[in-house]
């Protein structure tokens, strides 16, 4: 029998790509996806029953309450989902590989190009819950934490990636304000999925940063995707984080990815270079199959 890997958050952006890419990057695994509708991870007894039935050999934990605004509005729920459910899964996985998708939001964004050894300094509820969850996961030397920042792709309901958020706002007849002084290192979800599969199959443990090789402002990111999304024409507005109202947002979440790059079989791309390559080849932007062939 093939070893079985469970993927939580299988209906989310990264979870979908991890599931769909399994045939390409993990053909030797029996991959099972867990969605929120199928299993409430905060119901600890139900999780234990599912665990006993499925008996996994590894787990990729993508599920989270990841909207910063939602976490600020309900910090109790954020802790239940992001911390308590993660800690419970980590305990169940005490003898098997466990890959936890964390976030660069564990940093305050004051300087950028963060390394894994830098001290976390979260400035919002989401970041604080991710830091606490990481601590539980890394108590086990067999477990893995991968911090990511800004993920591009298409989700099942069109409401998970930053590109989808921009397009929905524009289609509603509203302008999309993008800060020219807020930096990220975006990466396509398919690239993240491939990296996760390589970490599992190479049995790599510990803490890793995974982001694109280009440090871009939000405004530069919007300009980069504009040729692919005509609905954004005339809707992008250059703004400044000084005028931001709402949940705290780190200014610079660029990540140093040298540690994980040494382990991967492929170079981590920059976002603009990746987009330009797909345009030259005439590939569909987020098509699953072409993305995995070309990754």
Element (H, E) at 22: helix 22-25
| Residue reference for tokens 């006993």 | 52
Instruction: Give the C-alpha separation, 75 to 67, whole Å.
Output: 11
Domain 4-294: CATH superfamily, name plus number:
NAD(P)-binding Rossmann-like Domain (3.40.50.720)
Instruction: Give the C-alpha separation, 271 to 250, whole Å.
Output: 20
Alpha-carbon distances, residue 264 vs 146, 270, 284 (angstroms): 13, 15, 25
Instruction: Give the C-alpha separation, 25 to 50, whole Å.
Output: 26
Q: What is the pLDDT of residue 283?
A: 63
Q: What is the pLDDT of residue 293?
A: 52
User: Which residue spans within 104-171 are E strands per DSSP?
Assistant: 144-148, 151-152
With a cut of 70, list the residues of the chain below it in pLDDT. 158, 282-295
Q: What is the pLDDT of residue 282?
A: 64
Q: What is the pLDDT of residue 276?
A: 86
For the chain, give every domain's residue range.
4-294
Pair 170, 235: CB distance under 8 Å:
yes
Condensed to tens digits (0 to 9), the pLDDT of residues 159-202 reads 778 888 999 999 999 999 999 999 999 999 999 999 999 999 99
- pTM for the predicted model, two decimal places: 0.94
Instruction: Give the C-alpha separation, 254 to 185, whole Å.
Output: 5
Kindly provide the b/e burial profile for residues 175-209, where b requires at least 16 CB atoms within 10 angstroms of the residue's own CB.
ebbbbeebbbbbbbbbbbbbbbbbbbeeebbebbb
Helices 189-201/13-20 angle, 10° precision: 60
Q: Collapse the DSSP code of 50 into the 3-class scheme (helix H, G, I; strand E, B; otherwise coil) and give the result.
A: helix
Alpha-carbon distances, residue 134 vs 97, 157, 163 (angstroms): 15, 28, 27
Pairing of strands 151-152, 58-61: unpaired
Instruction: Give the C-alpha separation, 107 to 85, whole Å.
Output: 22
Q: What is the pLDDT of residue 220?
A: 97
């Amino acid at each position: 029998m093939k070893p079985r890997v469970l993927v939580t958050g299988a209906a989310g952006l990264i979870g979908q790509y991890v599931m769909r890419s399994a045939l390409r990057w993990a053909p030797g695994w029996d991959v099972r996806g867990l969605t929120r509708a199928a299993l409430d991870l905060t119901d600890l007894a139900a999780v234990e029953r599912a665990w006993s039935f499925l008996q996994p050999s590894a787990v990729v934990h993508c599920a989270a309450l990841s909207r910063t605004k939602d976490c600020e509005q309900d910090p109790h729920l954020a802790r239940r989902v992001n911390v308590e459910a993660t800690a419970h899964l980590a305990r169940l996985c005490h003898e098997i590989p466990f890959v936890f998708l964390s976030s660069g939001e564990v940093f305050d964004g004051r300087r950028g190009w963060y390394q894994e050894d830098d001290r976390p300094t979260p400035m919002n509820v989401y970041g604080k819950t991710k830091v606490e969850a990481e601590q539980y996961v890394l108590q086990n030397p067999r477990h893995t934490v991968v911090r990511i920042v800004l993920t591009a792709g298409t989700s099942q309901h069109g409401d998970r990636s930053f590109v989808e958020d921009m397009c929905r706002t524009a289609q509603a007849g509203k302008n999309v304000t993008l800060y020219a002084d807020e930096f990220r290192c975006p990466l396509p979800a398919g690239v993240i999925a491939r990296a996760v599969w390589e970490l599992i199959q190479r049995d790599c443990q510990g803490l890793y940063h995974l982001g694109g090789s280009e440090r871009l402002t939000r405004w530069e990111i919007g300009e980069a995707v504009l040729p692919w999304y005509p609905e954004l024409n005339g809707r992008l507005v250059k703004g400044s984080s000084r005028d931001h109202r709402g949940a705290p947002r780190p200014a610079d979440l660029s990540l140093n990815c040298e540690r994980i790059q040494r382990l991967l079989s492929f170079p981590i791309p920059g976002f603009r270079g990746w987009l330009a390559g797909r345009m030259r080849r005439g590939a569909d932007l987020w098509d699953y199959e072409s993305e995995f062939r070309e990754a």
